[in-house]
Structure 1
Amino acid sequence: MKAIVLYHPGGPESFSIENRDIPTPAEGEVLVKVKAFGLNCAELMTRKGFSPDVTFPRVLGIECVGEVEEDPSGTFKKGQKVAAFMGEMGRKYDGSYAEYTVLPMQIITPFESTLSWEVLGALPEMFQTAYGSLHLALRIQPEETLLVRGGTSSVGLLATQLARQYGLQVIATTRNKEKSEFLIENGAAKVLIDAGNLAEKVKAEDIQVNKVLELVGTPTLKDSLSCVVQGGCVCMTGMLSEKWSLNEFAPMDFIPAAVYLTVYDSGQLRVGDKAFQEFIRSIERGELMPKIGKFFPFSELKGAHQFMEGNHGAGKIVLVV
Structure 2
Amino acid sequence: MTATLPDTMRAIVLEQFGSPEESFKLKNVPTPTPTPGYAIIKVKAFGINHAEMHMRRGEWAEFMPIIGIECVGIIVSSLPATSSSGAALEPGTPVVTLMGGLGRTINGSYAEYTAAPLTNIVPIPPTLVAQLGWARLGALPETYATAWTCLFRNLDLQPGERLLIRGATSSFGAAAVKLAVHHGAVVSATSRKAERAEALRALGVHEVLLEGTDLSDHLISEGRKFDKVLELVGNSTFLGSLKLVRRDGKLCLAGFLGGLAPVEFNPLLQMASGVHFSFFGSFVFGNEEFPLTDVPLAEIADLVASGKLEAEPKRVFDFGESGVREAHRVMEAAQAAGKMVVVVDSAQ
Class of the TM-score when normalised by the shorter of the 2 chains: over 0.9
Structure 2 residue identity aligned to 1:253:
L
Shift of 1:10: 1.3
Question: How many Å separate the matches in 2 of 1:33 and 1:136?
Answer: 31
Q: Which deviations, in whole Å up to 9, do the C-alpha atoms of 1:148-205 show, x marking residues without a partner?
A: 0001011111111111111210000001111111100011110000112222232344
The Cα RMSD (Å) is: 1.5
**2:24 aligned residue (12, 15, 36):** 15
Structure 1 residue identity aligned to 2:72:
V
Q: Which deviations, in whole Å up to 9, do the C-alpha atoms of 1:10-59 show, x marking residues without a partner?
A: 111111110123221111111100000001111111111111233x5x10
User: Does the 8 A contact of 1:4 with 1:17 survive in 2?
Assistant: yes
User: Does the 8 A contact of 2:119 with 2:291 survive in 1?
Assistant: no
Structure 2 residue identity aligned to 1:19:
N
Q: What is the aligned partner in structure 1 of residue 343 from structure 2?
A: 320
CA spacing shift, 1:274–1:43, aligned 2, 3 Å: closer
Structure 2 residue identity aligned to 1:12:
P
Matches for 1:131-280 after TM superposition, within 5 Å: 131-243=148-260, 245-246=262-263, 248-268=264-284, 269-272=290-293, 275-280=296-301
Matches for 1:57-136 after TM superposition, within 5 Å: 58-73=65-80, 75-112=88-125, 113=128, 114-136=131-153
Shift of 1:137: 0.6
Structure 2 residue identity aligned to 1:61:
G
Matches for 1:21-32 after TM superposition, within 5 Å: 21-32=30-41
Q: What is the aligned partner in structure 2 of residue 301 from structure 1?
A: 324
Q: What is the aligned partner in structure 2 of residue 45 from structure 1?
A: 54
Question: How many Å separate the matches in 2 of 1:30 and 1:102?
Answer: 6
Unaligned runs of 5+ in 2: 1-8, 81-86, 285-289
Q: Which deviations, in whole Å up to 9, do the C-alpha atoms of 1:35-94 show, x marking residues without a partner?
A: 00001111111111111233x5x1000000000011133821211101110122101110
CA spacing shift, 1:206–1:251, aligned 2, 3 Å: closer
CA spacing shift, 1:273–1:228, aligned 2, 3 Å: closer
Structure 1 residue identity aligned to 2:68:
G
4+ residue segments displaced more than 4 Å: none
User: Does the 8 A contact of 1:292 with 1:314 survive in 2?
Assistant: no
User: Does the 8 A contact of 1:34 with 1:100 survive in 2?
Assistant: yes
SS in 1 for 2:68: coil
How many aligned residue pairs are there? 318
Question: How many Å separate the matches in 1 of 2:271 and 2:176?
Answer: 24
Unaligned runs of 5+ in 1: none
Structure 1 residue identity aligned to 2:71:
C
Larger deviation: 10-19 or 200-209?
Answer: 200-209
Question: How many Å separate the matches in 2 of 1:236 and 1:51?
Answer: 18
SS in 2 for 1:223: helix
**1:5 aligned residue (13, 21, 27):** 13
Structure 2 residue identity aligned to 1:99:
E
Shift of 1:244: 5.8
SS in 2 for 1:267: helix
Q: Which deviations, in whole Å up to 9, do the C-alpha atoms of 1:219-274 show, x marking residues without a partner?
A: 1110111111122211000111231632x321212212222210112222345266
- Percent identity of paired positions between Structure 1 and Structure 2: 39
Question: How many Å separate the matches in 2 of 1:282 and 1:207?
Answer: 33
SS in 2 for 1:20: strand
Q: What is the aligned partner in structure 1 of residue 287 from structure 2?
A: none
Output the TM-score relative to the length of structure 1. Answer: 0.95
Structure 2 residue identity aligned to 1:42:
A
Q: Which deviations, in whole Å up to 9, do the C-alpha atoms of 1:267-318 show, x marking residues without a partner?
A: 2234526611111111111000025220111111111100111111211010
Output the TM-score relative to the length of structure 2. Answer: 0.88
